[in-house]
Structure formats: structure tokens, C-alpha cells
Copies of this chain bind each other. A is one copy, B any other.
Amino acid sequence: MYTRFTGLSAFPLTPLHDDVVDEAAFAGLIERLVAAGVDSITALGSTGSYAYLTPEERARVARLTVEHAGATPVFVGVGGLRTSHVLAHVDSAEDAGAAGILLAPMTYQALTPDDVFELYRTVTEHTQLPVIVYDNPGTTHFTFTTDLYARIAQLPGIVSIKIPGVPTDPGKAREHVAGIRAVIPEHVTIGVSGDAFAATGLNAGCEAWYSVIGGTLPEPALAITRAAQAGDFEDAVAESERLAPLWALFAEYGGSLRVTAAIAEHLGLTPQQCLPLPIQGLTGEQRARVADVVDQLGLA
């Protein structure tokens, strides 16, 4: 069965300007992704600042994405701290014409595995939309176990699991992905995230890459993805290693978001200071280093 929950899913930023969503800049990002030929677009992922936006802003961003995405499938992040709020985001994603939804178990108070299972159960009962399980412990501070993946993946409507990276050793990465694959239904795809791990993850059997950098620099992300899909594992690794200076900045500057925003700002794709306060983004000196790397890698 052909499923769209494979290949490169690009996660665009949701740029703000003076605390208001810059709709023109956002539409430009989406059109850029479509032109590059990404396999899907996931709006309102962590990269798209879903957790910071109002329900109205999120509904509007979902609609804008579908409007500008043409035939490219659009997935929409629907996470929230309260189950009833999540269901409202699901409704607005459905109204917008999303092809799927992405759900992370956001926490303020720590959640139990049963809390999280019930959240997914409630959502899959509420909607016909395919659901991607979004495991992002760096932001949610919730840790999935393989057992919990297995329980949730049995729910009707679950189509994919976005996992947070893989071991860097190729053999260990294959083992890790195979361990998850063994306990989930065949139709549920596994998607790697953590851009620096993408080539290893795809080579290890992940069918998708849920990609931060792919939302802003789709071509180099597609080069990695297409090489891995063609079985050219060494080429995938080489394409990823070419971007090592970028992965180093992600690690040094506390993650991908601020660096990716600085890249988008450097390339003029978004306004300056496009992240929601209190996130100030990189300092001037850090931005200069990001710009150097982008220019030296010929990504501009």
C-alpha cells in the first residue's frame, strides 16, 4: 500500500514579525518547499512554534499551508497541554484540509504512560485523520518506551512514529529501528528526526525523515533522502557529512530551532527575530557564524 508517511517531511518555521504571524513570509516558505519537491509539509511542528501560538493563529497557519501547498500533503501539529485543546486543534486541522496530524504529548506536570496512551486514544476516536506520534523528549520531557510505542501504534488511525534520533553507529541504529519495527503494525512508518541523525536513520530502515532543516533548506535534505531511498547509503552519509558544520552549530547553540531561524533570516526568507519571545534567537556573533557556514556550504 502506498502511504504518504514516507520520504522527506519538511517542517517550516512559522515566522513572527512584532509578535504577529508573517503570513507572506510563511506562504513563501511553503511555496519554496513545494517547488523543491518535498514529499510532505508538516506545519506547526516544534520548528513551527505550535506551542506558542493561539488557537486562532494555528487554525490560520493550517489553512495557509494547505492553500499554498498545492498537491503536496500537509500534516499539522495539534499538540497542547490539555486534551480538550488538542481536540480543538484537531478540528481546525481537519477544517483546513490537512492530510494528517502530528501529536506530541506536551507536558507541564509530568504525564504517566497511561495518561499519554489515553490522549492518543481520545484523539484517534475523535478524528478520521491519520495521526503521527511525535516523540520529542527534548521539548516535551516525556520519554516513550518501545512498549508504549507498541500500545499506541495499535490504535486505529496511527500511521507513523517520529522518533528522536538513532544511535550513531550504523549497526546499533539498525538494531534500534528493527526493535521498534518488531512491535508495531507494518503500515505504521518510522520517521527519524534530529537532522544530524537523518542519513543514519534512513539507512537503518526509517521510512521517513521529519526534518527541521528540510523546512528551510529543502534541497540538501532531499539529496540525503533520495540517496538513502535509492539504496546509495554511502552517498546519503556523504551528503549529511557535507553539512557537518551545520550539525555542529545545532549542537553548540542548543538545538536546531535558533540556528534554522538564523538561516532563514540570513537568507531573507523571514523577518529578523522571527521566533516568539521570550526566545530571543542567536546573538549577533552567533548569527555571523551561521551566515559564514551557510555561505561556505553554498546553501544561499
Contacts and interface: CB of A to CB of B under 8 A. Distances in A.
Interface of A: 19, 46, 51-53, 81-84, 105-106, 108-112, 114-116, 118-119, 122, 138-139, 141, 254-255, 257, 276-280
A171 to B, nearest CB: 31
A49 to B, nearest CB: 8
B51 A255 contact: no
Given A109-B255, A116-B278, 5 more contacts: A52-B81, A81-B276, A111-B279, A112-B254, A118-B280
Contacts of A110: 138, 254-255
A280 B114 contact: yes
Contacts of A83: 276-278
A278 B115 contact: yes
A133 to B, nearest CB: 14
Contacts of A139: 108-109
Given A52-B81, A81-B52, A82-B52, A109 B279 contact: yes
Given A19-B84, A141-B141, A108 B278 contact: no
A167 B51 CA distance: 34
A278 B119 contact: yes
4 tightest A-B CB contacts, nearest first: A51-B108, A83-B277, A119-B278, A115-B278
17 contacts: A19-B84, A52-B81, A53-B82, A81-B276, A82-B276, A105-B278, A108-B139, A109-B255, A109-B279, A110-B138, A110-B254, A111-B279, A115-B280, A116-B278, A119-B278, A122-B277, A141-B141
Contact of A277 (B19, B82, B255): B82
A236 to B, nearest CB: 28
A280 to B, nearest CB: 5
Nearest to A54: B85
A78 to B, nearest CB: 13
A114 B83 CA distance: 32
A219 B277 CA distance: 41
A4 to B, nearest CB: 27
A46 B132 CA distance: 29
